[in-house]
Structure 1
Amino acid sequence: MAQSEVRGKVPAVEDTMALKPQTSAASGGSGRRGGGRRAGGAKTERRRRRRRVLRWSASVLTMVILGTAAAGYLYYEHLNGNIQKGRRSSADDSKAHRTQPNAAGQTPLNILLIGSDSRNSDENVKLGGSRDHRGDPPLADVQMLIHLSADRKSAAMVSIPRDTRVDIPKCTDPDTGKVYPPTNDIINVSLARGGAGCTLATWENLTGVYIDHWMTIDFAGVVRMADAIGGVDVCVRQNVWDHPTPRVSGGSGLKMRAGEHKVKGEQALQWLRTRHAWGSDLMRARAQHMYLNSMIRTLKKQNVFTDTGRLMDLAEAATKSLKVSEEIGTVKKLYDLGMQMKAVPSNRITSLTMPNVRDPQDGNHVLPDQANAAKVWQMLQDDVPFDKNGEKSASKPAADKAEPTRKPSVDASRLGVLVQNATRTSAEGPVPQRARAIGQALAQQGYVRASADTTGSLSEDKTVVRYPSADLEGDAQAVAKALGIPMGSVRKSTDVSGVTVVVGADWRTGTAYPKQSAPKAGDLPEGSDAVNGSDTTKCMDVYDVYRW
């Protein structure tokens, strides 16, 4: 029997006679088999056993680490696989431009949140309560722009009512390739004319604000998210029951007593969908703003971003509920967005609804209140905070400088300039001969080759000067200076072949561009129905027909 087989026992005489002498540095080469040899062998064996245990422990630990890492990777990939993605824009061109970086090189972030009324699944039909519309293209009943300031210290949430009549651009459905021609219709149908990318393009053309990403969520997604959060606090001043009446069919089914309540699941969806009980679609936007502000406060209190279990539940719900533009189609990017929003103090978050007026063509629709809405869009473009709770900015964006930054490539008398009449709005027709009047004003400034475009009237909220290539940027800036147009309104565009002045609805009279006062932080226009994110006193009033 070999020594290794006795596991430290003292061998019998017959066994020791069978052992062969061994020579090693430790024994000094004597080859003797006395008691000292046996003791040394036992110590060596114990050392070997310890090494075997350590090797086994290290192997098990390595397997655990690798297994945990593999499980984490697989779960991360599982979450990524949950996310549905789509193209950012469905339109060929955009009238929007990116905001110039601030002094630190930072730019704002704009995300369009779209609530879809899709009833193309059993779950959504059950929650939406209208089987007749199963299979119909979804409409964008909730549309809200989330604006994160360049320094990430303030945020804004701006809603456009679903029944706002606007110009919807030409869009191509990215899934079917179907091309939808431009039209004038209420904004919620944009989702059915090329998906979320068409809604984004409609917003950009209306506001002039560049939108980086979009997110859509349907009925079932709202329920999942509300459950994952654990409920959101809301408030009503009177008992409310949003149910069908003899005069008005439908209703969300929301029923609760006056006071504060924590809503989740289907009741949260009912709160967000309620319209009749609040009196109008405009009041529904207010209720949605109150819900989102409360949700953000709830997440901040729960510290969900450092609670692994809660974070996993929220991640599972979010990735199953949201469809996003492809640029943010990973868990990491969505998490980073969430962390940026979380960092904004509640009193620096402001929600509002686009100022609007009744549509003279249809009393059920509204139009943008031209001057007041334009002020909101200007504040977003210039990254001016909607609240007054931050530090005052000492500098303006570089784009607002009055002087040109590039030299003209040719003399004014040799430059061809096209002037377009874009003074038409949804509420008013174009100003006759407007392009001709501005063309004559340019001729008096030395631009004798300026001419009016007679192909038809366009619609632009703001006057802009467009140019097709970098070599004409200085010429476009010189034209803008001659008319008193701000340098921030000089933009490169692929839809023009030369320097083009587009006279917008903000310049309907006169030949000198009207001076625009720079918007100030918190200086919001009338009719915006603003709600601050830290305000916990807001309650919804209930239209008397729906009280009980």
Structure 2
Amino acid sequence: MRQKSVREEGARQRTPHASDHGWDEGEPKGEERPGEPPDGGGEPPRGSRHRHRRGGGGGGRPPRRKRGVLRWSATVLAVLIIGTAGAGYLYYQHLNNSLQTDDLNLGEDRAPAPTPNAAGQTPMNILLIGSDARDSKANQKLGGAKETFGAPPLADVQMLLHVSADRSNMSVVSMPRDTLLTVPKCTDPDDGKVYPQTGPKFMTNESLSRGGPGCTVATWEKLTKIHIDHFMMVDFAGVVSMADAIGGVPVCVDKNIHSRTSAGKGSGLKLKKGTTEIEGKQALQWLRTRYGFEGGTDISRAKAQHMYMNALVRKLRENTSLTSPNQLRKLAEHAVDALKVDDGLGSIKKLYDLGNELKKVPAERTTMTTMPFDFAGERVVPKPGDAEQLFRLVRDDIPLDGKGKKKKSTPEKLSDDPAAADDKIAIQVQNGTRTDALAPVPGRASTVAQLLAGKGFAKAAPDTTASLAEGRTVVRFPSVDLEGDAQRVAKSLGLPLSSVKKSTDVSGVTLVVGADWREGDVPPKPKKKDDKTPDSADALSGSDKKACMKVDPNYTW
């Protein structure tokens, strides 16, 4: 963790209080300046000398009392302006220096950045992380589990916030904390410790303990192929303090609820049926509740978190509670103390600019979703097909509410580099049929290599050392001089040109037989692109004020 150093001389002074620049809503008190007459005294303003009105009437000077009041008012006004500017600058520096930052991505490979649209705009992706850190007395008190005090934190809440390129819509994708996947190799920026890549059954929330939030970002990019621009992380105490500063967020349950089991497990949340404004510790309990909501799983918890976020965003937009400068100051201080962000958001101005970008999106064009999943014992894995469909919609900047304009399909472009003769093209065939739920098909690379040899590709050879997980069959090539060869291989198999990808991970033309081609002599034809959000994503509109969590009857009172 890094914290900004204090560089400006003025910032080493005490942190200005609200009263220093009028935020305590008190009355300013004037003082007489030593040695100056109460009425102001002195000479008349420049330009008024030797100027007298004809006809008498007291000359060019205003009455001494009026003139004194005007000068006193101007002096006080000038002092207030200068004083407020100075205090505001010091307060701004105080907020800047309190903001904690960390590296954005600790992995080795980045997902490609999106291509700008016709107007030169690009979408923005921010990973929101809720840490279960119990590294302070406040976090320990709120999080419980005393035996884990000081242990590496876990990313128990993970939400990808996607803002469209034209800022017309926004999407949120939650991932259950117990999702099993592969975490890439990460290097801790503080001590240089290297964490090797994990197997495919590693819980996603443990990524945070492998060097920090940058490893959680790298994990998301590896799974989704979505380029992430920023992250924002908050812990238990931060959630409580910010909820207090906002003044409460409305949530709804369809029955009385008490999240507590006979064994003492549960968040302790206790609410009456209907809508309740929750804040502080109660807000944290809502966000952590699993026992009590129907289903009793992390999926239920994610749905409750979506409802809370929707209500929070609506409240901030309406500004119903943030009506005084003092409340805004408290919210700013609590937010800065609670957040850890990447360097790209590492200043108050950058956070302010981000807030202005988010405000452009109408509430009714915000969609909350959960990554489609299948159960794997007590854990979950990304649901084949549906999860990738959701990730693709985000990658392609397609609105999840179904209200986007249909994009014109662009014709596939043949390479300018002509392909070599089939028997001269060297092809390496890899087995990518493994999935999170299925083992790889034995000997699949050898089978397909023989199939290619039968088609005249005499230099096709299996790579028996590789065991990959590739959803769809692809042909990869490392440089433009091999693009024509790769396209020729794809055409011979009936694969679309969109399955041909340039990649620095291969040294020559490489066919990766995906999970979509686990058997048979012909790869399946790709389905026509469907831009509909999968039903399994459990989409919730940000404008839905009637959403209410269903309570498990075993937890009502």
Q: Same fold (TM over 0.5)?
A: yes
CA offsets per residue over residues 254-297 of structure 1, 9 Å max, x none? 01111100011110000000001112111111000111011111
- Which residue of 2 is the match for residue 75 of structure 1? 91
Displacement of 1:512: 3.5
Change in CA separation of 1:448 and 1:305 when aligned onto 2, cut-off 3 Å: farther
Return the TM-score normalized by structure 2: 0.81
- Which residue of 2 is the match for residue 19 of structure 1? none
Higher helix share: 1
SS in 1 for 2:127: strand
Gaps of 5+ in 1: 1-6, 9-25, 27-35, 37-41
| Alpha carbons 2:417, 2:480 under 8 Å: kept | no
Among residues 415, 431, 442, which one is paired with 2:441 in the alignment? 431
Among residues 208, 219, 228, which one is paired with 1:202 in the alignment? 219
Among residues 154, 158, 162, which one is paired with 1:139 in the alignment? 154
CA offsets per residue over residues 484-505 of structure 1, 9 Å max, x none? 5555555444433334333333
Change in CA separation of 1:291 and 1:54 when aligned onto 2, cut-off 3 Å: closer
- Which residue of 2 is the match for residue 395 of structure 1? 408
SS in 2 for 1:90: coil
SS in 2 for 1:277: coil
Displacement of 1:123: 0.6
Task: Give the whole-Å Cα distance in 1 for the aligned partners of 2:74 and 2:454.
Answer: 87
| Alpha carbons 1:404, 1:478 under 8 Å: kept | no
Among residues 148, 153, 171, which one is paired with 2:163 in the alignment? 148
Q: Does 1:90 align with 2:99?
A: no
Within a 5 Å distance, the mapping from 1:82-481 to structure 2 comes to: 82-94=98-110, 96-184=111-199, 185-246=202-263, 249-278=264-293, 279-302=296-319, 309-359=326-376, 363-388=377-402, 390-396=403-409, 401-404=410-413, 406-408=415-417, 411=420, 413=422, 414-440=424-450, 448-469=458-479, 472=482, 476=486, 479-480=489-490
CA offsets per residue over residues 394-442 of structure 1, 9 Å max, x none? 435xxxx452364227625444333322221110011233334444565
Task: Give the whole-Å Cα distance in 2 for the aligned partners of 1:501 and 1:147.
Answer: 32
Task: Give the whole-Å Cα distance in 2 for the aligned partners of 1:481 and 1:55.
Answer: 86
Deviates more, 1:102-111 or 1:61-70: 61-70
Change in CA separation of 1:64 and 1:293 when aligned onto 2, cut-off 3 Å: same
SS in 1 for 2:466: coil
SS in 1 for 2:262: coil
Task: Give the whole-Å Cα distance in 2 for the aligned partners of 1:339 and 1:140.
Answer: 27
Change in CA separation of 1:54 and 1:381 when aligned onto 2, cut-off 3 Å: same
Gaps of 5+ in 2: 1-41, 44-49, 53-57
CA offsets per residue over residues 516-547 of structure 1, 9 Å max, x none? 32232xx2223222111111111111112211
SS in 2 for 1:539: coil
Task: Give the whole-Å Cα distance in 2 for the aligned partners of 1:209 and 1:173.
Answer: 22
| Alpha carbons 2:419, 2:485 under 8 Å: kept | yes
Change in CA separation of 1:293 and 1:56 when aligned onto 2, cut-off 3 Å: closer
Look up the equivalent residue of 1:228 and give its one-letter code.
A
Q: Does 1:532 align with 2:547?
A: no
Quick one: percent identity of the two aligned structures?
Answer: 52
Displacement of 1:169: 1.6
Change in CA separation of 1:173 and 1:54 when aligned onto 2, cut-off 3 Å: same
Task: Give the whole-Å Cα distance in 2 for the aligned partners of 1:98 and 1:516.
Answer: 26
Task: Give the whole-Å Cα distance in 2 for the aligned partners of 1:407 and 1:232.
Answer: 58
SS in 1 for 2:303: helix
Look up the equivalent residue of 1:525 and give its one-letter code.
P
| Alpha carbons 1:351, 1:533 under 8 Å: kept | yes
Change in CA separation of 1:238 and 1:306 when aligned onto 2, cut-off 3 Å: closer
Change in CA separation of 1:192 and 1:330 when aligned onto 2, cut-off 3 Å: same
Displacement of 1:141: 0.8
CA offsets per residue over residues 56-80 of structure 1, 9 Å max, x none? 9988766654443333222222212
Displacement of 1:370: 0.7
Rg larger in structure? 1
Look up the equivalent residue of 1:213 and give its one-letter code.
H
CA offsets per residue over residues 333-368 of structure 1, 9 Å max, x none? 222222222221122111111111110xxx211111
Return the TM-score normalized by structure 1: 0.82
Displacement of 1:53: 11
CA offsets per residue over residues 430-457 of structure 1, 9 Å max, x none? 1233334444565567654343222130
Task: Give the whole-Å Cα distance in 2 for the aligned partners of 1:239 and 1:436.
Answer: 61
Displacement of 1:479: 4.8
* C-alpha RMSD of the superposition: 3.5
Deviates more, 1:537-546 or 1:487-496: 487-496
Displacement of 1:200: 1.4
Change in CA separation of 1:337 and 1:137 when aligned onto 2, cut-off 3 Å: same
| Alpha carbons 1:407, 1:475 under 8 Å: kept | no
SS in 2 for 1:168: coil
Change in CA separation of 1:67 and 1:473 when aligned onto 2, cut-off 3 Å: farther
SS in 2 for 1:269: helix
| Alpha carbons 2:472, 2:513 under 8 Å: kept | yes
Look up the equivalent residue of 2:166 and give its one-letter code.
D
| Alpha carbons 2:398, 2:404 under 8 Å: kept | no
Task: Give the whole-Å Cα distance in 1 for the aligned partners of 2:208 and 2:495.
Answer: 35
Task: Give the whole-Å Cα distance in 1 for the aligned partners of 2:479 and 2:229.
Answer: 23
Task: Give the whole-Å Cα distance in 1 for the aligned partners of 2:497 and 2:245.
Answer: 48
| Alpha carbons 1:235, 1:538 under 8 Å: kept | yes
SS in 1 for 2:465: coil
SS in 1 for 2:206: helix
How many residue pairs are counted as aligned between the two chains?
A: 503
Within a 5 Å distance, the mapping from 1:476-515 to structure 2 comes to: 476=486, 479-480=489-490, 483=493, 485=495, 490-510=500-520, 511-512=522-523, 514-515=525-526
Task: Give the whole-Å Cα distance in 2 for the aligned partners of 1:409 and 1:194.
Answer: 46
Task: Give the whole-Å Cα distance in 1 for the aligned partners of 2:326 and 2:425.
Answer: 65
Task: Give the whole-Å Cα distance in 2 for the aligned partners of 1:494 and 1:540.
Answer: 47
